[in-house]
Amino acid sequence: MELAPLCVDADTTANATQRAFLRMHRTQLTLIVLAAFVGIFPLATERPPVNWSGVIAATLFGVSLLLRLLMVQRKDEDVWYSARQTAEISKSLCYRYAFGGPGFERAHPDAGDERRETADSVAELHFVDSFATLGEDIVLIHGGSDTDAFSEVTDDMRATRALPFTELRSRYFDARIRDQERWYSAKAGYHAKRTRFWLTLMLVAEVGGMLFGILKAVQVLAGPPAELVGLMSAFAAAFLAWSQLRQHSMLASTYRQETVRLRDLGRRVVFVGEADWPAFVGVAEDSINAEHARWQSLFGHGR
C-alpha cells in the first residue's frame, strides 16, 4: 500500500542516519584496533629520533577521539530513533485509516452514499489531525514519494478503505500481518546468527590472548610478537563493544516474540466479522507499536 509522504520521508531519514551512526562507530573501533596493531612494530629512526609506531598509534587514537566528538555533535543516534518513531507511528496511522481501525471506522455496509461520505470525511479529518506535530523534532530527508506532501492521504489508502469487507480483510492480512510477520521472522534469524558470529570472534580473540600470554610468560615469545597479547585484547574489546551496540541477542528474542504474536493474529483474522473489525485492527496495530516501544526502551530511547 502506498503510504503517507511523511511516513516515507521519516523512514528514509531513519535509514540514512542509522547507516551514518553505525558507519562512524565501526570506523572508530577499527581505528582503535589499528592503533594497537601499529604499536606492535618498532618503527623508529635515530635521526631524527622519532618512534614512528608511537606517532601513528597516537594519530589513530586522535582521529578516533575526533570521530567520537563528531558523533556527539551530530547526534545521529537521536535522529535515527526519532525518525524511526515518527515512521512507525505514521505507518500505523495509515493502516488504521485505510482499513477502518478505531477512530477511523467505515460507515455501515447498508448506509447510504451520504453517510459513507460523512464517515470518510470525519475519518480523514481525524487522520490529518493525528499528523499535526509528527516529525517536528527531526529534519526530514525527502524519500522520493510522488504524493503531494501536503496531502498525507494517498489514493491507494482511499481505494483500500472503499473495498468490500472480505477484500479489505484479506488485504490487511497480506499487506500488514503477513508482511510484518515475515520481516520480524527474518530479522530474528539474522540477529541470532550475528549473536553467534560475534560470540565466536570474541572467544577466538580471548583464547588467542590467553595462548600468547602463556607463551610470553614462559618467554617463548619476545619482542614484537609478545605484544600480540595486547592486540588480542583490543580485538576482544572491539568485538564486545560492537556486539553490545547492536544488541543482537536481545533483538533476536524480542523479534521472535513479535513473530509469534503476529502469527496468532494471522490465524484469527478469518474469524473476525465486520462489526468486530475496527477492534481487531486496533489490537494488531497496538501489538506492532508495543514492539517498537520495547525496541526504543532496549536502546534507552523509550517514549
Same domain, yes or no, for 104 and 209? no
Indicate if 236 and 278 belong to the same structural domain: yes
Lowest mean pLDDT among 82-91, 95-104, 176-185, 293-302: 293-302
Residue 30 vs residues 37, 151, 274: alpha-carbon distances, Å: 10, 45, 56
pLDDT exceeds cutoff 80 at 218: no
Residue 303: which pLDDT band, with cuts at 50, 70 and 90? very low
Kindly report, residue by residue over 62-119, the tens digit of the pLDDT: 999 999 999 989 989 899 999 999 999 999 999 999 999 999 998 876 666 677 778 8
Say how far apart CA 98 and CA 277 lie, in whole Å: 12
Neighbouring CB atoms inside 10 A of 234's CB total 20
Tell which wins on pLDDT, 213 or 266.
Answer: 266
Cell digits of residue 88:
512507525
At 295 the pLDDT is 75
> Rounded to whole angstroms, what are the CA distances from 216 to 23, 26, 220?
36, 31, 6
Percent pLDDT > 70 in the chain is 91
Tell whether 35 and 65 lie within a shared domain: yes
Enclosing domain of residue 7: 1-162
Q: Are residues 154 and 193 in the same domain?
A: no
Instruction: Please check whether residues 8 and 146 belong to one and the same domain.
Output: yes
In this structure, are 135 and 4 located in the same domain?
yes
Give me 59's grid cell: 594519530
State how many domains the chain has: 2
- 178 contacts 269 by C-beta, under 8 angstroms: no
* Res. 159 pLDDT band, cuts 50 70 90: very high
Is 299 a residue whose pLDDT tops 70? no
pLDDT above 70: residue 223:
no
Domain endpoint, select from 146, 162, 178: 162
pLDDT in tens, 27-77: 999 999 998 888 777 776 766 777 778 888 889 999 999 999 999 899 898
Q: Do 242 and 153 belong to one domain?
A: no
Quickly list H helices, 138-225.
155-161, 165-172, 179-217
Same domain membership, residue 125 and residue 188? no
Q: Which of 33-37, 122-126, 220-224 has the lowest mean pLDDT?
A: 220-224
The residue-averaged pLDDT of 236-257 equals 91
222-229's contacts with Cβ under 8 Å and 24+ in sequence apart are 224/40, 224/41, 224/42, 227/39, 227/40, 228/40
Cα distance between residue 31 and residue 67, in whole Å: 10
Mean pLDDT, rounded, for 107-136: 83
9, with CB counted inside 10 A (0-12, 13-18, 19+), is: buried
The pLDDT value recorded for residue 217 is 76
Which residue type sits at 97?
Y
Domain boundary among 113, 141, 162: 162
Q: φ, ψ for residue 206 (rounded to 5)? A: -70, -40
* Domain co-membership, 106 together with 208: no
Summarize the confidence of residues 236-260 as an average pLDDT.
91
Examine the domain organization and report whether 194 and 295 are in the same domain.
yes
The pLDDT value given to residue 300: 58
d(CA 157, CA 96): 10
What is the reported pTM? 0.85
Last residue of a domain, one of 138, 162, 186: 162
300, 250: one domain: yes
Given this model, what pLDDT does residue 52 score? Answer: 78
For 223, the grid coordinates are 619482542
Say whether pLDDT at 273 is over 60: yes
Question: Of 115-129, 176-190, 286-300, which has the strongest mean pLDDT?
Answer: 176-190
Q: Is residue 192 domain-shared with residue 94, that is, in the same domain?
A: no
Percent of the chain with pLDDT over 90: 58
pLDDT of residue 146: 65
Phi-psi region of 44 (alpha: psi -120 to 50; beta: other; left: phi over 0): beta
